[in-house]
Chain A
Amino acid sequence: MIELLQYDFFSNAILAAILTAVSCGIIGSYIVARRMVFIGGGITHASFGGIGIAYFLGFAPMIGAGVFAVLSALGIHYFTHKGKVREDSSIAIWWSLGMAIGIIFIALKPGYAPNLMSFLFGSILTVMKTDLLYMLVVSLITVLVFAIFFRLITMISFDEEFARARSLPVDFFNYMLIIISALVIVTSTRVSGVILVLSLLTLPQATANIFVQSFRSMMWFSILIGLFGMISGLYISYYTNLPSGATIIVTLTAFFALGKLIKALFAVSKN
C-alpha cells in the first residue's frame, strides 16, 4: 500500500485528503452547529456557474468557482437579511441559478466538455500542485481564524443576540465565516465534486456527534474521521477501480453507520 505513495498523483491525493479533512472538519462543524447545511448546499451548486464561465473563457475553474461561491454566499445572506426573501427560497434561487449559468456556458463552448464529470463528482486522483496550494492556503486561514477566535465564534453561533448585546463584532464574523465556508467548499470540490461535497461537511460531524457533544471536540473528531474516511476511501477506489469521490462518500457513510452500531452495542452492554 505504501508503494502507491511514490506516484505523484497518489501522494498529491493523500495531501489533498489531509488538507480537506482539516478545513472540512472545522468549517463543517461550524456549518452543522449553526444549521447552515443547506446554505452550504446552495453555495456548492452555485459555484458550478463559475466553473462554466471559467471553462468557456479558458481560465482556472477553481478561480471561477471561488468567485461564484463567495458571491452566492453573500447573495444568500443579503437576500435573506436585507431582501426579505425567506432563507430556503433564497438558497434555492442561488443554487439553481449557478447550475443554470454553468450549464449554459459549457454548452456555449464548442466541443465535448471532458472534465464535466470530475467537476460534478470530483477526482482527487487528478489533483495538481496549484490545487494543493489553494487547499493549503484555505486550510491555514480556517485553522488560524478558528484557533484565534474560537471563543467568539462559539458565542456568536450559539446566541447571536447576546453577542450583539455585548457589542461583539457579529456581522463582521458572520460575513467572514460565510466567505471562508465558501472557499473551503470550493477547494473541497476537487475531492468529491459539486454534487457530493456536502457530505464532507456533514458526515464526519454527524459521526463525531455520536460520541462527543462539545463544539471543540466535534471539530477534532471530524478532522480525524474525515481524514481516515478519505484515505481509506481513496485506497478502496484505487483497488476496486471505482470513482474516488463517490467511494469516499460511501466509506464515510459506512463509518457513520459503524459509529451508530458501536454506540448501540455500548448502550446494550451497559444495561
Chain B
Amino acid sequence: MENLLEIKNLTVKYGTYTALQNANMKIGPTDFIGVIGPNGGGKTTLLKAILGLLEPSSGEVIFSEQLSNQKTDIGYLPQVNKFDSRFPINVIDVVLSGLAGKRNWVKPFNSANKEKAMQLLTDLGIAHIANKPIGQLSGGQMQRAFLGRTLISDPKLIILDEPGTYVDNKFESELYEKLVQLNKSKAILLVSHDVGTIFAHVKSIACVNRELNYHPSNIITPEQLASYNCPIQIITHGEIPHTVLGVHNHKHHH
C-alpha cells in the first residue's frame, strides 16, 4: 500500500544545534508507530517537522496525495499543558475547531458539523459538558475534548504527543483501546515516555535521539536500543505478552 508520508534525509537545526540529523521514515496507512527517546532527543522536533511547524535545514517531508486535503487529514493532539486552560472557550467549540483547515476559515459551522461534534463527545463520554468552558474541566475531560478536536476531521494520520500525561488511568486505558480501534483505518504516531505502555500497543518503534532509528516491530531488546543510541529507561512489564525487557545498563553517548 502507498505510504501516507515519507521523511527523507530530514535535518533540523536550531542555530548551530542539530536537533535531528538525517532522519528517514515512512508512515503507511495503518502503521502504529511509537516514538521514544530521551528528553531533548528530538521527538517534538520530529512531530513539528511533520506538522509543518518548522522549516527543515535540509531534507523534506513528502506527503502522499491522500494527505493533501487542507491539512485536516492530519489529526494532532498536543501536550495538554500547552494550553491556556482559562481561555474563554466551550468544549464543543474546541472540538469544532478541529474542522478548520487551510481554505476553510470563514464559513460558519453548519448543523451537520455540530451534530458530528456532539456524536464525538457522546462517544468520548463527555456530551454532558459540551457547553462548559474548558477552564472547569478535569485533566481527563480536557484530554477527551482535545481528542474530539483531533478526530472530528476524520484524519488519516493521528499524531499524539504524550497523551498519557495529566490523565487518570481509566482514561489512559480507554484511550489506547480507542487508538487500536482507530488504527484499523488510520495511521498513528504516538510520542510517549511511558515506554511500557507504548510497547503493548504499537506495531513498530522509532527511536529518536538526534538520529532516527526505525524498528519494524514492538519487540525490542536492550541491545537493539543500545545500538540505536536510545538511552531510555525500560521497565519490565510482565503482563505484556509480546514484550519482555530487561533493565539495560549500557553506557551511552548523550
Interface residues of A (CB under 8 A from B): 29, 33, 35, 148-149, 151-152, 154-155, 157-159, 161-168, 209, 213-215, 218
- A152 vs B96: C-alpha distance in the bound complex, in angstroms? 12
The answer to whether A161 and B93 touch across the interface, beta carbons within 8 angstroms, is no
What is the size, in residues, of chain B's interface with A at 8 Å between Cβ atoms?
A: 29
Neighbouring A residues of B90 by C-beta, 8 Å: 213-214
User: Which residues of chain A come closer than 8 Å to B53, judged between CB atoms?
Assistant: 161, 164-165
B136 and chain A: residue at smallest CB distance: A213
Tell whether A154 pairs with B106 under 8 Å between CB atoms, given A165-B52, A166-B72, A215-B88: no
Q: Does B74 contact A (CB under 8 A)?
A: yes
- Known A151-B105, A167-B52, A168-B102; contact A157-B71, beta-carbon cutoff 8 A: no
Query: In the assembled complex, which residues on chain B have CB atoms less than 8 Å from the CB atom of A33?
Result: 87-88
Contact partners of A35 in chain B: CB under 8 A: 84
Say whether A165 contacts B106, CB under 8 Å: no
Give the secondary structure class of A's interface: helix
Partner of A161, one of B82, B84, B135: B82
Asked if B78 and A161 sit within 8 Å, CB to CB, the answer is yes
Name 28 A/B residue pairs within 8 A (Cβ), A-sorted: A29-B88, A33-B87, A33-B88, A148-B106, A149-B106, A151-B97, A151-B100, A151-B105, A152-B105, A154-B93, A155-B105, A157-B87, A158-B84, A159-B78, A159-B83, A164-B53, A165-B51, A166-B102, A167-B102, A168-B100, A168-B102, A209-B88, A213-B88, A213-B90, A214-B93, A214-B133, A215-B87, A215-B89
What is the CB-to-nearest-CB distance from A208 to chain B, in angstroms, rounded to a whole number? Answer: 9
Q: Once the chains are docked, how many angstroms separate the CA of A151 from the CA of B104?
A: 10
Asked if B101 lies at the interface with its beta carbon under 8 angstroms from chain A, I say yes
Check B88 against A214 for contact (C-beta < 8 Å). Answer: yes
Residue B108 CB within 8 A of the other chain: yes
Judge if B32 is at the interface, Cβ distance under 8 Å. no
Q: With A33-B87, A158-B87, A159-B83 given, name 18 new contacts (CB 8 A).
A: A33-B88, A148-B106, A151-B105, A152-B105, A152-B106, A154-B93, A155-B97, A155-B100, A159-B78, A162-B78, A162-B149, A163-B100, A164-B53, A165-B51, A166-B71, A213-B135, A214-B88, A215-B88
Chain A residue nearest to B96 in the complex (CB): A151
Question: Which chain B residues border A167 with CB–CB below 8 Å?
Answer: 52, 70-71, 101-102
Contacts of B199 in A (CB 8 A): none
**List of B residues within 8 angstroms of A29 by Cβ:** 88
Shortest CB-to-CB span from B134 to chain A, Å, is 9
Establish whether residues B74 and A168, one from each chain, have CB atoms under 8 Å apart when the complex forms.
no
By beta carbon, the residue of chain B nearest A154 is: B89
Closest chain B residue to A155, Cβ basis: B97
Residue in A154, A157, A162, A213 with the greatest tally of chain B CB atoms within 10 Å: A162
Contact B88 A166 (CB under 8 A): no
Which residues of A have CB within 8 Å of B72?
166
Tell whether, in the assembled complex, residue B88 and residue A218 are in contact, meaning their CB atoms are under 8 Å apart. yes
Q: A13 to nearest B CB, angstroms?
A: 31
